Amino acid sequence: MENQGDTAHLLARVSTLPTLPSILYNYQRRRKPWSKTKSTPPIIYNQGSFSREIGHAAAETYLITGLSFKLLSCLGLGYRWITRFLGLALYAMLLMPGFIQVAFYYFFSPLVQRSVVYGDQPRNRLDLYLPAKIDSPKPVVVFVTGGAWIIGYKAWGSLLGKQLSEHDIIVACIDYRNFPQGTIGDMVEDVSQGISFVCSSIADYGGDPNRIYLTGQSAGAHISSCVLVKQAIKESRGETVSWSTSQIKAFFGLSGAYNLPNLVDHFNNRGLYRSIFLSIMEGEESLQKFSPEIMVQDWSSKAAVHLLPHIILFHGSSDSSIPYDSSKAFVDTLHRVGVQAELILYDGKTHLDLFLHDPLRGGKDDLFDYIVAYIHANDKEALAKDDMAPPRKRLAPEILIKLARRISPF
């Protein structure tokens, strides 16, 4: 099959790729949170000038462009990936009316704290989306974006962050090293460190450290579920940890992959070639080590599974990127080992319907409404406010969403 070179040859190629320029990271300095006091916490506003905002936008654009070229460098220019790339370009053009509105909010809203530093590795940054009024500690969603382990980026969660923050929920979108800058072990390490930062520091931004909900989409659901299970295993063994699974009230997994050995051939047929995928996952021998469904069945993890929070998985029945059987099998396994878990299956929904297309439509969104209601379940005032909230604004014409959905490469 085209573009399936030797793994060692692939790694030799990607090792020569340039890293992002230091100017990007010099620009993205740590932002200082407000000091916590007994009085009502102030709203945090970006203090940068307009020229700085333009500079930040340019830096973010450079990063996205670099990710695209890295993807092409890894996958080559075979016919399949040329057609997919062109399809992706047309897909983005069709949804541009919505993307422009979200991008404007992301770059210029005073309620978005971009690129807060959480670690010392490249890409150890997160974005915070804050409610307009913080008069009491707010629940927090930690979101890990997808991107086939190659093109994940924190800004992909901006639409989710915008909509949840409008319902008085703080959202932290964690960035992490992608392949070829890092492999799955690096991604898990980065996300775990990002969660640790949120658990220890979110109170300084008006968040409630006792109401944190971990969420991931696609590859992000895989990475974050790995982090959660590995953290539970560490705790069960008495190892020193910087955050606890008890701080995570629930895990929401959207369209995720949880058993990698069962998906290698499927991904290969979809264009994520076996040699590349195994390089991302640190070799075939590591597939089980980074498969949450397999990890929870290990006898040595018996004590760990009881430390896991409520796990809720969402999947579309027409998802061709990651079949819904992935979520169903994981939930069945969790039930067998005694973990509270459930699967919510959406008939006819594709891989991006739940995360992107439906939110762009505005109005009623079953997945979004479920998550908000779950987070606010014990807060009658918040639930009443949700009931009175105006319908979400449509961000893209229906005809463009339908056309984009038909040509989506995902």
Active site residues: 218, 319, 351
φ and ψ at residue 125, rounded to 5 degrees:
-135, 155
Contacts of 50 (CB under 8 A, 6+ apart): none
Evaluate whether 161 touches 140 at the Cβ level (below 8 Å).
no
Contacts of 65 (CB under 8 A, 6+ apart): none
Q: Where are the alpha helices (H) located in 237-365, listed in sequence order?
A: 264-270, 274-280, 292-295, 325-336, 358-361
- Strand 112-117 with 125-129, pairing: antiparallel
DSSP for 199-250, please give it. HHHGGGGTEEEEEEEEEEETHHHHHHHHHHHHHHHHHHTT---SS-GGGEEE
Evaluate whether 340 touches 306 at the Cβ level (below 8 Å).
no
Encoded tokens for 59: 């830096």
Evaluate whether 365 touches 359 at the Cβ level (below 8 Å).
yes
CA 291, 294, 273: angle at the middle one, nearest 5?
40
